Amino acid sequence: MPYAAPVSEFRYILDKVVGFDQVAATDLFGEATPDTVEAILTEAGRLCQDVLAPLNRSGDLDPAVLENGVVRTSKGFAEGFKAISEGGWIGISAPAEFGGMGLPHTLTTAFNDMISAACLSLGLNPLLSQGQIEALEAHAPDWMKELYLPRLISGEWTGTMNLTEPQAGSDVGALRSKAEPNGDGSYAVSGQKIFISWGDHDFGGNVCHLVLARLPDGAPGTRGISLFMVPKYIPNEDGSLGEANSLRVVSLEHKMGLHGSPTCVMEFSGAKGWLVGEEHKGMAAMFTMMNNARLGVGVQGIGAADGAYQHALAYALDRKQGATPVEGTGTIIDHADVRRMLLTMKADLFASRSIALACAVALDMAKATGKPEWAARAALLTPIAKAFGTDTGMRVSETGVQVHGGMGFIEETGAAQFSRDVRVTAIYEGTNGIQAMDLVARKMMDGGDAAFALLDEVEATAESARGTLDDLAEPVWQANETLREATEWLLGQGDMNVRFAGAVPYLSAFARVLGGHYHLKAAMEEGEDGPRRKLARFYVNRLLPDHVGLLAQAMVGSDDLYALTPEDMTA
């Protein structure tokens, strides 16, 4: 079925739910007027549904291949990327001085949601460039900004992120890649990196690799790592492409999904690179890109969920199978269990999308105002947005297969592709378990101030809804209090492993409560019998209660996890 960009949904969430008006009221983002936002969302939606969505199956059936050292991309992808770059969509939030639009990151987040629903494999490419643009803007020397940023923003060049090595997965500090000074301000970078999305392509231009490597005097672990710009072609002073650098694509990974996205094994053999940021401070520079990417990856999950939901809904409205006790359309959407699946998909899609956009608003407010409370809000919401967004993508796409019944297992329907493509999002940019541990550890180093500030807002919303929406307000208020008590318990645990043991259910419970909060806000802005109120009741009645069991798991401790020995497990 054709993808329909949910432009009106974005407008409603921005206007009524996550407070985008605060962003537009700042001096920095004063140009983000309602008319501008409407135009951006409408044109982005048109690109995604008319140009990019038709490429989705092509990427799956005609995957990227490596031929004689050259990566050949899926049919139509080069033209699709050209439409993205010529429309200026890579640089929505990039600095205007280098050719970007200078608009809020919230609008980039909405665009990334839509492009992920339309064609996730191709959408990975501009997402990586966006992250690299932000990292260079924050950490690169001026000459590098002037050379690279305009070309990355225009799409003439594309960016990658090179962290992972075969022996060092999430333990980045175990990397072996090295960088030796060349004596002229450049470095010879050597090593092998794996899982490099869009490490090469046949779109033309340059491929700009940000590579983590260790200088000769670099200390062991992450503290001794530096970051280098290592381009495929060494640019001339005027920006034209010079000689090929000493790097190559060794192979493409064989993946369960995202076949249109070339995931490369990269080898750097004394390749010329230039330092980004300070020596031995590479992780700080790379984390700028990774934090951008973590929200972006969460949004990839949400976009894939939207594509899967629209696909399943269209099938349910068309497929006739069996009789039901109710009068209706005569199709399977009349069945109670099919309704349950579709409404769960839609309710979680709204909850996860609202969390992601709220995170983006916090990022924009932090940038526009410099206030630390906004930065703390963004930091707190980032792991929740990433983990819950990608968990939602997996659940919704899997449910989409189930809605199709036996036909969901048949590749020709396209339902399975959403599930295969989105699966990796829960793994990369830090697995969802790592996100949860980050939430209960680093993000609670403020004594829980950022978390409690957010919970105070949830409580205030629930209080304001009393009298008009008691059936929604009271459960949200109660859930928020339970989460507050669990957070206080968590902060009282001196043994960090006790926190880690319950981190995943804690994060899921936090997301569940935030989902109730945002559904309630949406319902408060609508009339008595509006569809958003009905959807909010479904979420509060059927999904919000999950938080009780999740928080019970979060507070069990760690002893039971270690009660069985490895020998017991193999018995």
Percent of the chain with pLDDT over 70: 99
Is the pLDDT assigned to residue 292 strictly greater than 80? no
The pLDDT of residue 173:
66
Residues belonging to the active site: 429
pLDDT mean over 448-466: 98
Q: Which residues of 241-280 are buried (b: 16+ CB within 10 A; e: fewer)?
A: beeebbbbbeebeeeebbbbbbbbbbbbebbbbbbbbeeb
Q: What is the structure's pLDDT at 172?
A: 67
* β-bridge pairing 225-231 and 263-276: antiparallel
User: Dihedral (C-alpha) 203, 427, 544, 462: value to the nearest 10 degrees?
Assistant: -70
414: left (phi over 0), alpha (psi -120 to 50) or beta: left
Domains of the chain: 7-153 (1.10.540.10), 158-279 (2.40.110.20), 431-558 (1.20.120)
Note the pLDDT of residue 275: 97
Token digits of residue 199: 């490490």
pLDDT at 445: 96
Positive or negative: CA dihedral 396, 163, 292, 431: positive
Q: In 3D, which of 556, 562, 563, 565 has the Cα closest to residue 503? A: 556
pLDDT tens sequence across 341-351: 999 999 999 99
- Output the CA torsion sign for 293, 148, 278, 221: positive
Neighbours of 457 (CB within 10 A): 15
d(CA 83, CA 410): 32
What is the pTM assigned to this prediction? Answer: 0.96
What's the rounded mean pLDDT across residues 215-233? 91
Per-residue confidence band for 387, with pLDDT thresholds at 50, 70 and 90: very high
HEC sequence for 173-200: HHCCCEEEECCCCCEEEEEEEEEEECCC
Angstrom distance (rounded) from CA 499 to CA 554: 8
What was the pLDDT predicted at 222? 76
Instruction: Indicate whether 335 pLDDT > 80.
Output: yes
Residue 107 has pLDDT above 80, yes or no: yes
pLDDT at 397 over 90: yes
Say if CB 24 and CB 363 are below 8 A apart.
no
pLDDT of residue 171: 66
Contacts 24+ apart (CB under 8 A), 480-489: 480/455, 480/513, 480/517, 482/547, 482/548, 482/551, 483/455, 483/509, 483/510, 483/513, 483/547, 483/551, 484/452, 484/455, 486/551, 486/554, 486/555, 487/448, 487/451, 487/452, 487/455, 488/448, 489/555
Over 90: is that where the pLDDT of 218 sits?
A: no
- Burial level of 553, CB count in 10 A (0-12/13-18/19+)? middle
Cα 13 from Cα 103, distance rounded (Å): 18
pLDDT tens, 240-289? 999 999 999 999 999 999 999 999 999 999 999 999 999 998 888 777 76
Q: Looking at residues 523-548, what average pLDDT do you find?
A: 95
Under 8 Å CB-to-CB from 248, ≥6 apart: which residues?
A: 69, 266, 267, 269
pLDDT band (50, 70, 90) for residue 164 = confident
Reduced to 3 states (helix: H, G, I; strand: E, B; else coil), residue 169 is coil
Residue pLDDT, tens place only, 112-126: 999 999 999 999 999
